[in-house]
Amino acid sequence: MDAWLRWILPIGLFWPVTALYLGGMFDLPGAKPLREILGLGLGFALTLVVWWGLTKALSPIGPALGAVVLPTGVVLAVLPIILMIGFRLVGLRMVRSAAH
């Protein structure tokens, strides 16, 4: 599998999954638009770094399972934590949204 082709999966999944997390589960109280964009960009960069690290660590397991499937599953499972770190770096705090 080409190296660039592997990156399509985490890049393509980040945006819809993040929209689900931030759109329904979490709020960013007192956030300004620029800080939201910067926090989202940092969260995106951190997600790719974590995914890349897991890919390198787990690739001996197998080319498909260790290099694509497991890293993607782990990153999606910890995505709220990664986003929280990204938003904290720009001074924002993620809180659970109130039930609608």
9: in domain? no
Domain with 44 in it: 14-21+31-93
pTM reported for the whole predicted model: 0.87
In the chain, the number of structural domains is: 1
pLDDT tens digits for range 9-34 = 889 999 999 998 888 788 888 889 99
SS3 96: strand
For residue 47, being part of any structural domain is answered with: yes
| Per-residue confidence band for 38, with pLDDT thresholds at 50, 70 and 90 | very high
In-domain check, residue 87: yes
Tell whether the model's pLDDT for residue 99 goes beyond 70.
no
Q: Are strands 26-27 and 95-96 parallel, antiparallel or unpaired?
A: antiparallel
| The pLDDT value given to residue 100 | 57
Q: Is residue 45 part of a domain?
A: yes
Convert the pLDDT of each residue in 50-68 to its tens digit.
999 999 999 898 888 888 8
Mean pLDDT in the chain?
A: 88
Indicate whether 46 belongs to any domain.
Answer: yes
pLDDT mean over 3-8: 80
2 in a domain, yes or no?
no
Q: Note whether residue 7 is domain-resident.
A: no
CA pair distance 35, 26, nearest whole angstrom: 16
In a domain, 98, yes or no: no
Whether 78 shows a pLDDT value over 70: the answer reads: yes
Output 21 or 82, whichever has higher pLDDT.
Answer: 82
